[in-house]
Structure 1
Amino acid sequence: MKVEQKGHTTIIKDTHGETAAFLNTLQHEHNSYKNENLILDLSHDKNLKLEDIKAFADLIKQHKKQKKSIVLVTDSIDFNAVPQSITVVPTILEAHDIIEMEEIERDLGF
């Protein structure tokens, strides 16, 4: 796991390609990141399945209660099959764009 701070956003990369272990680690360390916008880079896991993405639902729900954004990055799944409550994009640049838009929406009171 590699952690990188970029502005008001923290990028956490799964460097081993083991999504289940990565999620478990994130759940244990969530208090460290609960007040930051998160980009979770899962692009190292080329065997990622929709079920793996859905496993993040509880963590995402918990994080959004803090009025912070959380975006998953991978290009190895069908984006149309992902539930609307989970934001998944193919690149880190797009993840930053989503977070910026969500920050603006929060500032405007949406």
Structure 2
Amino acid sequence: MKVDQKNHTITIKDTQGDFTSFLMKVTHQYKTFEKHNLIIDLLFYKDLSTSNIKLFLPLSKQHKKSKKSFVIVASDFDYNAVPDKLTVVPSILEAHDIIEMEEIERELGF
């Protein structure tokens, strides 16, 4: 697992190729990341299913309650199949853009 921090955002990327253990690591180490916006980089995985992505739903809900952004990056994915509570985008750049927009919305009180 690779963790990069850039300003108020942490990007977490799997380097092992084991989705289940990556999800467990992120979940167990969540307290370390909870005060930052999070980007979960799943670009390593080429055949992700909607059910795999949905496994991040509890973390996403918990993170958004504390007024922080939680964005998943996945390529070659049916973005329409994802629940509205999850934000899934195709690139890291787009993830940063989403976080910037959400930060502005929070500053404006939305």
Please report the TM-score for the alignment, with normalisation by the length of structure 1: 0.96
The one-letter amino acid paired with 1:63 is H
The one-letter amino acid paired with 1:3 is V
**Equivalence for 1:85:** 85
**Equivalence for 1:96:** 96
CA RMSD of aligned residues (A): 0.8
- 1:48 Cα offset (Å): 1.1
Unmatched runs of 5 consecutive residues or more in structure 2: none
- 1:8 Cα offset (Å): 1.1
**Equivalence for 1:32:** 32
**Equivalence for 1:64:** 64
Does structure 2 conserve the Cα–Cα contact (< 8 Å) formed by 1:37 and 1:99?
yes
The one-letter amino acid paired with 2:33 is Y
Question: CA deviation digits over 1:22-58, x for unaligned, max 9?
Answer: 1111110000000000000001011211100001000
Does structure 2 conserve the Cα–Cα contact (< 8 Å) formed by 1:10 and 1:39?
yes
The one-letter amino acid paired with 2:47 is N
- In 1, the alpha carbon distance for the partners of 2:61 and 2:19 equals 18
**Equivalence for 1:21:** 21
Please report the TM-score for the alignment, with normalisation by the length of structure 2: 0.96
Question: CA deviation digits over 1:1-23, x for unaligned, max 9?
Answer: 00001111111101122222111
- 1:65 Cα offset (Å): 1.1
Does structure 2 conserve the Cα–Cα contact (< 8 Å) formed by 1:17 and 1:46?
no
What is the aligned-residue identity percentage? 57
Count of residue pairs the alignment pairs up: 110
- In 1, the alpha carbon distance for the partners of 2:15 and 2:79 equals 22
- In 2, the alpha carbon distance for the partners of 1:93 and 1:36 equals 17
